[in-house]
């Protein structure tokens, strides 16, 4: 059984997310996205799943559970190139 990955909360603050990659709202940030991790406008029409994407590594996060449900491959490859440099 695969262990679920979750992001952390800094100091227990529900708005102070810390991604596994170390990203925080004050650094690269997190943005509303669709199921594939593509950024969307946070409107009722476009943002139906209430997911966020880490703008550093592309992890897709469920805002209610803080569980990482996937990764945006476009952002993941950018992150991996940056970390490898």
Q: Is 32 exposed, middle or buried (0-12, 13-18, 19+ CB in 10 A)?
A: middle
Please check whether residue 25 is in contact with residue 15, taking contact to mean a CB–CB distance below 8 angstroms: yes
Per-residue pLDDT of the chain (85 residues; tens, 9 = 90+): 567 899 999 998 988 999 999 999 999 999 999 999 999 999 999 899 999 999 999 999 999 999 999 999 888 666 566 666 5
- Whole-prediction pTM value? 0.85
Which residue in the block uniquely carries the two structure tokens 């992001």? 7
Residue of 82, 38, 30, 85 lying closest to 61 (CA atoms): 30
């Amino acid at each position: 059984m695969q262990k679920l990955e979750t992001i952390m909360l800094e100091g227990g603050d529900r708005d102070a997310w810390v991604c596994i990659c170390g990203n925080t709202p004050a650094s690269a940030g997190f943005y509303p996205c669709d199921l594939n991790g593509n950024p969307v406008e946070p409107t009722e029409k476009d943002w139906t799943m209430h997911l966020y994407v880490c703008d550093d590594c592309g992890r897709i996060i469920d805002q209610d559970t803080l569980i990482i449900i996937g990764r945006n491959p476009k952002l993941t490859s950018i992150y991996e190139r940056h970390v490898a440099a």
